[in-house]
Amino acid sequence: MATGLKLARVRRGIRQWDLARMLGISESLLSRYETGRSMPSSETAIRIAEALNVSVREIMGEASHVELQT
């Protein structure tokens, strides 16, 4: 999740602080998600994907993996 989440956020030009605020979580918790030190619940992963207007698969890094194979 770490790579996909951060990549999706950066591609959309959203600062970590702003996304954390949109989600109602702390910036440190979002940082832990982005570095892989913590995993969000399924509900939180869906909220993150909705906030970034991407699929859960993309923030989980699965879409990126497929792109790299082509």
| Domain residue spans of the chain | 2-69
**Residue 42 φ then ψ, to 5°:** -60, -40
| Cβ-based burial of 8 (10 A; exposed 0-12, middle 13-18, buried ≥19) | buried
Q: Yes or no: say if 53 and 12 are a contact pair by the CB < 8 Å rule.
A: yes
What pLDDT score was predicted for residue 32? 96
As a whole number, mean pLDDT of residues 57-65 equals 73
Task: Give the confidence band of 66 by pLDDT, cuts at 50, 70, 90.
Answer: very low
Give the H or E element holding residue 66: helix 62-69
User: The tokens of 3 are what?
Assistant: 């790579």
- Kindly state which CATH superfamily the domain 2-69 is placed in: lambda repressor-like DNA-binding domains (1.10.260.40)
